[in-house]
């Protein structure tokens, strides 16, 4: 079968599209024919050995995929042909995967494989960040940075579902228009020098109760300027390349909190959190409250080009690979 393989930790640019052995079947597992695999910013890190979880090469990147079951172990009761999505530590960028049945989620009839392949990580991150870690409440102000990106756009949707007033930042008018299409109430260009001051003005001086930050860098500094009393800043990632240094004295003055959100840790620490989150998210999807945005699809052989587009922040919503 074909796969994208990382042979050395020198970055995604050196991934190789090549023939590999089919993964062996194991007890408690299913074999899935991959129809779509979702890209995540973490792919740019894991291929450099910079992700929270280190993987020794050679390995196949990719954390989420969707397709149909083509083989089940004797101890697994999942029918051949069942449409499923799955979460992985890595391995999704291949024509087939073998994975524990406990990680498999049956796709609703109305959901395409492209939507399913890009659903669980981004929506799961925002759900756990806003609902569990951030405690976002109806009537609060939510500031979302990188609001047109993979996780940012899901934060806009979930924030609206939870009853917040959403303020979105993005780097261009085109990207801000996408955030507005998905429910953002107010729009700010992240290139402006006074993002924090604009947030304060939009909230009549109150500030942002929750900040959802997958960007870091200068936007984190702006967030500190406009965080509300007892506000919560959620650190999702550092797409800017600069990891913020949190001044604890400022947290004390505002009685605010700086909170890390690492979705993947729940796979090992408390997987039931992910199960409950995914159940609610799929319910919201079937109600029409969530509309996954697949902005681009690439062939699996063009995976390097796809990840480059993501790394260059030229995409909105989700990008998927099609074997």
State pLDDT tens for residues 100-110: 998 898 999 99
CATH tag, 122-264: 3.40.50.720
Angle at 244 between CA 243 and CA 250, to 5 degrees: 165
Q: Report pTM.
A: 0.87
Name the band, by pLDDT with cuts 50, 70 and 90, for residue 294: very high
Closest CA to 121 of 323, 310, 314: 310
For residues 290 and 192, what is the distance between their CA atoms, to the nearest angstrom?
Answer: 30
- pLDDT of the residue at 64: 93
The yes-or-no answer to whether 2-119+292-322 and 122-264 have a common fold is no
- pLDDT of the residue at 314: 82
- pLDDT of the residue at 198: 98
Residue 208: what are its φ and ψ, rounded to 5°? -90, 125
Angle at 248 between CA 243 and CA 252, to 5 degrees: 140
Name the band, by pLDDT with cuts 50, 70 and 90, for residue 250: confident
Report residue 109 CA to chain centroid gap: 23
pLDDT, mean over the chain:
93
Report residue 48 CA to chain centroid gap: 19
Is residue 2 within 8 A of residue 300, CB to CB? The reply is yes
CB-based contacts of 210: which residues, under 8 Å, 6+ apart? 130, 134, 135, 136, 140, 141, 142, 143, 164, 231, 232, 233, 234
Q: What is the mean pLDDT of residues 28-39?
A: 97
Beta pairing class for 208-213 and 141-144: parallel
- pLDDT of the residue at 317: 84
Across the beta sheet with 208-213, the strand order is 186-189, 165-170, 141-144, 208-213, 227-235, 257-260
Closest CA to 34 of 79, 75, 69: 69
Which one of 43-52, 143-152, 306-315 scores highest in mean pLDDT?
143-152
Domain boundaries along the sequence of the chain: 2-119+292-322, 122-264
CB-based contacts of 305: which residues, under 8 Å, 6+ apart? 298
* Ramachandran assignment for 220, one of left (phi > 0), alpha (psi -120 to 50 degrees), beta (any other): alpha
Q: What is the mean pLDDT of residues 36-61?
A: 91
CB-based contacts of 24: which residues, under 8 Å, 6+ apart? 98
Percent of the chain with pLDDT over 70: 100
For residues 294 and 101, what is the distance between their CA atoms, to the nearest angstrom?
Answer: 26
- According to CATH, the topology of domain 2-119+292-322 is Quinone Oxidoreductase; Chain A, domain 1 (3.90.180)
């Amino acid at each position: 079968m074909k796969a994208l393989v990382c042979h050395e930790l020198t970055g995604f640019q050196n991934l190789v599209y090549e023939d590999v052995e089919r993964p062996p079947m194991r007890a408690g597992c299913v074999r899935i024919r991959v129809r779509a695999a979702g890209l995540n910013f973490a792919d740019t890190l894991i291929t450099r050995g910079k992700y929270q979880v280190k993987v020794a090469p050679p390995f196949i990147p990719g954390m989420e995929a969707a397709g149909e079951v083509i083989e089940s172990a004797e101890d697994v009761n999942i029918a051949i042909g069942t449409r499923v999505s799955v979460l992985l530590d890595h391995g999704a960028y291949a024509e087939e995967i073998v994975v524990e049945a406990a990680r498999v989620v049956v796709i609703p009839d109305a959901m395409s494989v492209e939507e399913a392949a890009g659903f669980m990580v981004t929506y799961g991150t925002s759900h756990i960040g806003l609902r569990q870690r951030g405690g976002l409440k109806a009537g609060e102000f939510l500031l979302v940075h990188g609001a047109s990106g993979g996780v940012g756009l899901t934060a806009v949707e979930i924030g609206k579902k939870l009853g917040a007033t959403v303020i979105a930042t993005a780097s261009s008018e085109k990207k801000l228009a996408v955030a507005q299409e998905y429910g953002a109430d107010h729009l700010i260009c992240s290139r402006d020098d006074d993002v924090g001051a604009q947030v304060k003005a939009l909230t009549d001086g109150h500030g942002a109760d929750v900040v959802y930050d997958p960007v870091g860098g200068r936007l984190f500094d702006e967030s500190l300027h406009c965080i509300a009393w007892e506000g919560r800043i959620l650190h999702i990632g550092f797409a800017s390349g600069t990891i913020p240094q949190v001044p604890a004295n400022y947290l004390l003055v505002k009685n605010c909190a700086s909170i890390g959100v690492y979705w993947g840790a729940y796979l090992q620490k408390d997987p039931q959190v992910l199960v409950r989150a995914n159940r609610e998210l799929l319910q919201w999807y079937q109600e029409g409250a969530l509309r996954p945005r697949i902005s681009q699809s690439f062939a699996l052989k063009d995976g390097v080009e796809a990840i480059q587009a993501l790394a260059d922040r030229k995409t909105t919503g989700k990008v998927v690979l099609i074997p």
